Amino acid sequence: MRHGLRRGLTAAAVGCVLLTGCSSTVVGSASPGPGEPTDVSANDFPITAAGDDQEDTSARNALVDLNTFWSQAYPDAFGEPFQPLQGGYFSVDSDNIDDSAYPPTGIGCARSPDDPSDVALNAHFDPNCDVIAYDTVLLKKLSDDYGRSLPAVVMAHEFGHAIQDRFGFEGPSINQETQADCFAGAWTRWAVDGHAQHVSIRVPELDQVLQGYGLLADAPGDSPGNSQAHGSFFDRIAGFSEGYEDGVTACRDRFGSDRVYTEIAFTDRDQGTQGNVDYPTAVQATEATLPPFWDQVFPAAFGKDFQEPTIKPFDGTAPDCGDMAGTERDLGFCASDSTVYYDEQDLVQPAYKEFGDFVVPTAISLPYGLAVRSELGKSTDDSAATRSAVCLTGWYEAQVFNGAFADGDNGYSISAGDIDEAVHFLLEYGVKDSVFPNTDQSGFELFQDYRAGFQQGGSPCDVGA
């Protein structure tokens, strides 16, 4: 977040996206179908230089299910038969490359040879040869750190690039990468719904997968116009989410030149601070933007003035008020004294140190959304309230992103990486009972609610706006 500096920003309704590494790479979501998934044999689906380890087996299973998915989804979306990859598939162990396991052209083809070492710690689709290659060292690292489903989604992202090559998609790198994320999300939903024969992806795995996915996003401050841009964490997960929720046709249609991304480059001023202000300034910025936002939109949406709640921090022990009394709570709204409470000691300050300054408005906005619902006579202590508060937070933070509070010497505006900090906070802390005790929603589901408010405003937030 930036204080006292005006910055021109893009459209009010933001359209978005997901992954990195390239040629490219990606990630997955929910419950297995009937029966146990079965492994595909090497004879049935050859991969050059593949062994019998778990990484190659997982990649093979995913690639077979991806071929099955696209054999139906591609004709439905593009009106012509799906053409399987003509150049095949290549496995590389970058810790121990055996050159004799590859043809003279390596992991490429006669017109575009490629050394196996070129895919080290990566995975890619090569349009020159119509091949997918991957490094098992990368897949093992992702699987060990973020669960068995992440390598399958990496394969789905790379297959998304093969799909783009077939229908002739062109555009900046960031559009290509996030559209491939979208295609990966569409396949993941198909697998989650139990249609895959060889891959099982379950809902509880998805939060961990998405955290791993964040490592594959561009670094904060990278330019979206870079020739290798993949998108911010928000951009990539948003693309994945669109495919997951709305399917292949949404991926086909929503990644044109008018698509808006949250990735922005650092200014010279931001470079030294990495776009972060100190903690007191972040609290000040929240108090200077959150109440004014609701003071403006509440009368317009609901036809009456907004009665601002008090915002009050505490350290460790929740106030003896409402359903917060006697509980291990870090956030809450107390209707009896019309106060939004937040725990600086155990939540907001540690999260600020872990992720950055934009977790402060995110954390405080969540119980503030409950205050908004209370003002409207709606529930404040159930799953619907949680989803609504997260959605309303997305609505508010989209206006910060769009420069609504940037005017004047004391204005506040977005810095590179801020929206990603909000997403990390939701995935890491939003699933904790101390933050939202009355819901069992996953971090991915919370992200979907946040994205809905960020992109569409108040209409999907269950407040009648």
Q: Which pLDDT band, with edges at 50, 70 and 90, does 329 fall under?
A: very high
Asked if residue 291 has pLDDT above 90, the reply is: yes
* CA–CA separation, 216 and 27 (whole Å): 10
pLDDT at 239: 96
Q: Give the per-residue pLDDT at 128.
A: 97
User: What is the pLDDT at residue 25?
Assistant: 31
Please identify which residue in the block is written with the tokens 């121990």.
96
Residue 16 in this model has a pLDDT that exceeds 80: no
442 and 29 Cβ atoms separated by less than 8 Å: no
Would the pLDDT of 31 be above 50?
A: no
Confidence of residue 90 (pLDDT cuts 50, 70, 90): very high
* Position with higher pLDDT, 337 vs 7: 337
What mean pLDDT is predicted for residues 256-272? 88
Task: For residue range 110-141, list pLDDT tens digits in order.
Answer: 999 999 999 999 999 999 999 999 999 999 99
Contact (CB, 8 A) for 456 and 400: no
pLDDT bucket at 73, cuts 50 / 70 / 90? very high
Q: Percentage of residues in the chain with pLDDT exceeding 90?
A: 81
At residue 27, does pLDDT exceed 70?
A: no
pLDDT recorded at residue 411 = 82
In this prediction, residue 382 carries a pLDDT of 92
Q: Residue 214: what pLDDT?
A: 76
Six-digit token string for 217: 């996003």
pLDDT category at 269 given cuts 50, 70, 90 is confident
Of 342, 452, 457, 338, whose CA–CA distance to 404 is shortest?
457
Indicate if the pLDDT at residue 21 is higher than 50.
no
Express each pLDDT in 214-230 by its tens digit. 778 988 899 999 999 99
Provide mean pLDDT across the span 235-239: 96
What are the sequence ranges of the domains in the chain? 17-253, 270-456
The answer to whether the CB of 198 falls within 8 A of the CB of 65 is: yes
* 32-65 residue pLDDT tens: 445 689 999 999 999 999 999 999 999 999 999 9
pLDDT at 9: 20
Mean predicted confidence (pLDDT) in 145-149: 94
More confident residue, 293 or 210: 293
Q: Nearest to residue 245, comparing CAs of 19, 72, 451?
A: 451
pLDDT band at 23 (very low <50, low <70, confident <90, very high): very low
- Model confidence, pTM: 0.89
22: pLDDT strictly greater than 80: no
pLDDT of the residue at 299: 95
Residue range 388-407: mean pLDDT, rounded: 95
The dihedral formed by the CA atoms of 88, 94, 99 and 104, expressed in degrees to the nearest 10? 40
SS3 126: strand
DSSP 24: B
Distance CA 108, CA 115 (A): 8
> Residue 336 has what pLDDT?
92
Report the distance separating Cα 345 and Cα 363, nearest Å.
13
The residue assigned the tokens 């004879």 is: 43
Lowest-confidence range among 77-81, 274-278, 407-411? Answer: 407-411
* 169-178, 319-328, 370-379, range with the lowest pLDDT: 319-328
**Overall average pLDDT of the 433-461 stretch:** 93
Give phi and psi for 143, each to the nearest 5.
-65, -45
Spatial distance between the Cα atoms of 122 and 94, rounded to a whole number of angstroms = 10
Is the distance from CB of 286 to CB of 348 less than 8 angstroms? Answer: no
Mean pLDDT of the chain: 90
